[in-house]
Amino acid sequence: MLKYKRILLKLSGESLMGKQGYGIDTDRLSDYASQIAELVSRGVEVAIVIGGGNIFRGVSGAAKGFNRVKGDQMGMLATVINSLALSSALEAIGQPARVLTAINMFPIGEHYSNRRAIETVERGEVAIMAGGTGNPFFTTDTGSALRGIEVEADVMLKGTRVDGIYTADPEKDPSAVKFTEITYDEVIARGLRVMDLTATALCKENHLPIVVFDMDTPGNLLKVVEGEPIGTTVY
């Protein structure tokens, strides 16, 4: 039994680096593609947003002297590169995918509209939505929240390298305790870095639950969609 019929999957650009430390690890990319294709084969409608941090981060660029607007635009282009890579990996294993870009970039991708994205997932294709919101000063977390709401997803799944939300960074504080469930308000009050405040507020206002889970463990994505208690649910 599936707990969620239509999902918005948020992947970080950094996760695509694998063990390389930069760029795109083809093994990691293939693993993600296989997990996503398995969901579609079981009837799940999948929309995806990928970050671009493995290539360029606008905020980091601004800190090093880049104009913030241009830096964010460079970050948007990085998400397009990652989206094209994932779509290629999906198509290589027989899973149709379509890249939709926030800014018109035909023929690299189709110009995004929520109608086109919904039609895509209803056909059994994976909709990969690139370019963030198309505007500077917004993160891909905010872009993910916005797209999840626009495509009427049942849940936003945030795939990370940790297995949920903790009271502190578990990689730095061994005494950190994991939450099974937590409210949007508590995330904000505790200052937990699940997503930026704009993204969290969007999800709260539109009643879009978030599940933060470890995407790097094969099989976890399917388990989350089937409702197994993996990761942390924000509601």
- Which one-letter DSSP state was computed for residue 60? H
Q: How many CB atoms lie within 10 A of CB 2?
A: 14
Strand 110-111 and strand 97-101: the pairing is: parallel
What whole-number distance in Å separates Cα of residue 33 and Cα of residue 125? 13
User: Which residue segments constitute the domains of the chain, with CATH numbers given?
Assistant: 6-234 (3.40.1160.10)
- Count Cβ atoms below 10 Å from residue 72 Cβ, excluding itself: 24
Read off the amino acid at residue 61. Answer: G
Distance CA 179, CA 170 (A): 12
- Classify strands 97-101 and 165-166 as parallel, antiparallel or unpaired: unpaired
| Predicted local distance difference test score (pLDDT) of residue 21 | 82
Structure tokens at 207: 């009643």
Give the DSSP letter of residue 77.
Answer: H
Name the CA dihedral angle for 46, 89, 100, 122, rounded to a multiple of 10 degrees: -30
What gap in Å lies between CA 142 and CA 182, rounded to an integer?
19
Q: What is the pLDDT along the chain (235 residues), one digit of tens a residue?
A: 899 999 999 999 999 998 888 899 999 999 999 999 999 999 999 999 999 999 997 777 777 788 999 999 999 999 999 999 999 999 999 999 999 999 999 999 999 999 999 999 999 999 999 999 999 999 999 999 999 999 999 999 999 888 999 998 888 898 999 999 999 999 999 989 889 999 999 999 999 999 999 999 999 999 999 999 999 999 9
In single-letter form, the type of residue at position 20 comes to Q
- Only one residue has tokens 């937990």, namely 192
Measured CA to CA, the distance from residue 59 to residue 141 in angstroms comes to 13
For residue 57, the model assigns a pLDDT of: 78
pLDDT at position 64 = 78
Residue 43 pLDDT: 97
CA distances from 12 to 37, 43, 164 (A): 18, 24, 15
Q: What local confidence, expressed as pLDDT, does residue 172 receive?
A: 87
